[in-house]
Chain A
Amino acid sequence: MNDGVRVAARHLGMHFSLRGADLVALDDVNLQVRDREFCCIVGPSGCGKSTFLRILAGLERQTSGELHVEVRDPANPLTAMVFQEQSIFPWMTVEENVGYGLRMRGVHASVRKRVVDHYLEKVGLAHFARAYPHQMSGGMKQRASVARAFATDPEILLMDEPFASVDEQTRALLQEELLRVWESDRKTVVYITHSIDEALVLGDRVIVMSARPGRVKAEIEVTLPRPRSVYELKSTPAFSELVARVWEPLRREVLASYGALGQAS
């Protein structure tokens, strides 16, 4: 494997068989994620980007091709995922949730407490350590979910549209916080989103995927300097130019996915 490459997918394919029909979710996906890179994948709905992430997370197995992840520290878990839907356990307090991955790996309670407190502080939930999720807003739950993933110190951090279901103001706030946490840790991140703005605000590189079957359509380097401010960034000419560059290949794929829908109905 090339130096500095953490994740390499080669000819990755995923077929589902759904009531006799063969469904191709991913077809010949080739991509690489570099060490300490924040890599965003955008694509139209149903392009298989979530499937790709689930394969990476070990929740599904590809039907063809190879996926290689370079492990730097075998003591760490390979991946930790921030899920799109509400995935914080309702039966655990916030601190129990954030410490879950550490507990599953047998990390001693005192060490766990220190790590959990550190990340609760970072995502602004220190005062809610003992609260149950039903007492919190959707944005707070996703903060806890982000803290839970960071706390396990994974080789690769996976995020599947983590802020898709919160309102726009909260989303901008959560993006700012994520950037702050990430910029101090610099983990390798694979981030799925359908928002071009979000991909550009967060990412070092944006990978555009095609409509089903999912393939890599384009790759755009995001040259915007860090640290970034979500609000200021969006009004710069460089940002607008990048939006246009991502939108161009994506537009055709979105239209293609509408076409496929039209045929299906």
Chain B
Amino acid sequence: MTVKVQTARARRLGRARIGGVAAERLISVGSPVLLLLVWEALGRLGLVDVRFFPPPSAIAGTFATLVASGELLDQTRISLGRVIIGFLIGAVPGVVLGLVMGMSRIVRAALNPMVGALYPIPKSAILPLLLLIFGIGEPSKYAIVASGVFFLVLLNTIAGVLSIEPVYLDVGRNFGASRLQAFWTIALPGALPLVFTGLRLAWGIALILIVVGEMFASQSGLGYFINNMYQTFQVEKMYAGLIVMSVIGYVSFLILDELQRWLVPWRGDRAV
């Protein structure tokens, strides 16, 4: 009798849970659609100022035109090229120097004061300096992105090496690993999970910095495009630029997740 009651109850709970998951998914898809519909309706009814908030249908139309003309894709390609090159220029030395600083007390002691002094400067604040040094061309864009990426990757890599259990380094020494071998087989893979945390943070910063750089010191790229559309009051096109930024951010983090799963397989399925 008791058993029967319990199984019936369990079944009811099970069904409720499955129903719950489906309902959650429906809500997740439905809520943004609802938001767009409300936005559209408010615009058409004249309840919001369509000069600032053009209805989604109008933005979609503009977006389609811009894509068809190739203008948006060109700007996107330019920005992506800059941000990827700048990211690599900052991230590669950041990882290498981070590993060296993590492994060597002396190098750490020598460089820590400089890192400590330079890291807190907001990188957008050094844009004028970078323009003086590199001029208005491409190198100044790479430089601003790289400067932001470098420190985040560096600090996370150092933390990654320092977080390695000392016993792993003992294993390396006991089993005859040279310093270089210890570097490749212990320091780098041991630090990799935190290196990835650094890369993700740095990628977010890189997207911010490229837009800032293009807004203030460029005649091309998405940052320039968005700013230019604002200044010429083509608000729908400005929104189209924002949509592209959103898509770039979303897709690139998916790619980073996938890369992490592939490069750090020993972490199981723990995505950050």
Residues of A within 8 A of B (CB): 57-59, 77, 79-81, 83, 85-87, 89-92, 100-101, 104-105, 132-135, 148, 152
**Given A83-B170, A85-B167, A91-B192, A104 and B265 contact (CB-CB distance below 8 Å):** no
**Closest 9 CB pairs between A and B?**
A91-B189, A101-B175, A132-B266, A104-B177, A87-B167, A81-B174, A104-B176, A90-B266, A91-B266
Q: What is the CB-to-nearest-CB distance from A202 to chain B, in angstroms, rounded to a whole number?
A: 21
| Bound CA–CA A100/B172 (angstroms) | 9
Q: Are A58 and B174 in contact, CB atoms less than 8 angstroms apart?
A: yes
Q: Could you say which interface size class chain B belongs to? A: 20 to 34
Q: Does B52 contact A (CB under 8 A)?
A: no
A-B contact pairs, 14 of them (CB 8 A): A77-B175, A81-B174, A83-B167, A83-B170, A89-B190, A90-B266, A91-B266, A92-B266, A100-B171, A100-B175, A101-B176, A104-B172, A104-B176, A135-B268
Q: What is the CB-to-nearest-CB distance from B264 to chain A, in angstroms, rounded to a whole number?
A: 8
Chain B interface SS verdict (over half): helix
**A residues less than 8 Å from B17 (CB atoms):** none
**A residues less than 8 Å from B267 (CB atoms):** 134
Of A79, A104, A148, the most chain B CB neighbours within 10 A belong to: A104
Task: Give how many A-B residue pairs fall within 8 Å (CB-CB).
Answer: 62
Which B-chain residue is minimally distant from A57 (CB atoms)? B174
- Could you say which of A80, A86, A132 contacts B175, with CB atoms under 8 Å apart? A80
| Bound CA–CA A57/B171 (angstroms) | 10
Q: What is the CB-to-nearest-CB distance from A12 to chain B, in angstroms, rounded to a whole number?
A: 19
- Could you say which of B167, B176, B190, B264 contacts A105, with CB atoms under 8 Å apart? B176
**Given A101-B176, A105-B176, A87 and B266 contact (CB-CB distance below 8 Å):** no
- Could you say which of A58, A89, A148, A152 contacts B186, with CB atoms under 8 Å apart? A89
Of B186, B189, B266, the most chain A CB neighbours within 10 A belong to: B266
Which A-chain residue is minimally distant from B190 (CB atoms)? A91
**A residues less than 8 Å from B189 (CB atoms):** 89, 91-92
Which B residues between 234 and 260 are near A, CB-CB below 8 angstroms?
A: none
Q: Does B168 contact A (CB under 8 A)?
A: yes
**B residues less than 8 Å from A77 (CB atoms):** 175-176
Q: Are A104 and B173 in contact, CB atoms less than 8 angstroms apart?
A: no
